[in-house]
């Protein structure tokens, strides 16, 4: 089973019995969002139902990892990296602490992955705009910066995650940031003409 097949299957299984108008959290009727004793926590959107579902363990792990990364990005954007705890992330992702630590060594490693998933498309848009513009170099740079700023303006949460909260994160994120900045350096220097 390919990763794409697993993702489709996870989405199919996790959406059973739901309509598009269902809320993100699936709350039992009559509880106003509060759980009673013995009642399970509400499922998150995309969360695989417990019990037998016929999915491969790899598909389950992929779904959990994706939800953890989404939870980390949301928590860090809302609360800030320093104030975000693993408990905030697992609560948003609908996974256990044990599952979190099976996927990631710690908060910084998880944030570094979430950062990379947000930054990679920004790099792609920026470099693509740079390459599509014709000479001179200043026009190409202007096109790249315009594309980057437009992408950030369209998604302020990504802007905060990549350019504010990433500065507060630990060494794993710092390494990812240096890698991303090296990618952007391709736009910053005019190419020398070869004789």
Q: Express each pLDDT in 18-40 by its tens digit.
A: 333 333 444 444 444 555 555 55
Q: What is the largest CA-CA distance in the chain?
A: 78
Give the mean pLDDT of 80-93: 96
pTM exceeding the 0.85 threshold for the entire prediction: no
Count the alpha carbons within 13 Å of 108 in the hemisphere toward its beta carbon. 11
CB atoms within 10 A of CB 167: 11
Give the mean pLDDT of 51-70: 82
Mean pLDDT, rounded, of the chain: 79
| Residue 188 φ then ψ, to 5° | -85, -15
- Under DSSP, the state recorded for 165 is G
CB atoms within 10 A of CB 173: 24
Residue 5 has pLDDT above 90, yes or no: no
Give the model's pLDDT for residue 157: 95
Give the model's pLDDT for residue 184: 86
Among 29, 158, 22, residue whose Cα is nearest residue 14? 22
171 SS3 class: helix
E-assigned strand segments in the chain? none
Task: Give the model confidence (pLDDT) of 111-156 as tens digits.
Answer: 999 999 999 999 999 999 998 888 888 899 999 999 999 999 999 9
| Cα 41 to Cα 31: distance, rounded to the nearest angstrom | 12
CB atoms within 10 A of CB 12: 10
- Under DSSP, the state recorded for 106 is S
- Under DSSP, the state recorded for 167 is G
Nearest-10 Cα torsion for 49, 42, 87, 7: 30
């Amino acid at each position: 089973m390919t990763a794409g097949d697993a993702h489709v299957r996870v989405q199919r299984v996790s959406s059973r019995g739901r309509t598009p108008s269902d809320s993100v959290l699936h709350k039992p009727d009559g509880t106003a969002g509060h759980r009673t004793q013995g009642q399970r926590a509400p499922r998150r959107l995309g969360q695989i139902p417990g019990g037998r579902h016929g999915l491969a363990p790899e598909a389950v792990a992929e779904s959990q990892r994706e939800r953890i990364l989404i939870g980390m990005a949301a928590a860090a954007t809302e609360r800030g990296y320093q104030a975000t705890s693993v408990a905030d992330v697992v609560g948003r992702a609908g996974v256990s602490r044990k599952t979190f630590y099976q996927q990631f060594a710690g908060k910084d490693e998880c944030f570094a992955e979430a950062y990379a998933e947000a930054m990679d498309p920004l790099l792609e848009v920026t470099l693509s705009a740079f390459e599509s513009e014709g000479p001179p170099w200043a026009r190409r740079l202007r096109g790249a910066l315009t594309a980057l700023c437009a992408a950030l303006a369209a998604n302020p949460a990504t802007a905060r995650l990549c350019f504010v909260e990433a500065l507060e994160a630990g060494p794993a994120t710092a390494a990812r940031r240096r890698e991303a900045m090296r990618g952007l350096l391709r736009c910053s220097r005019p190419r020398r003409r070869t004789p």
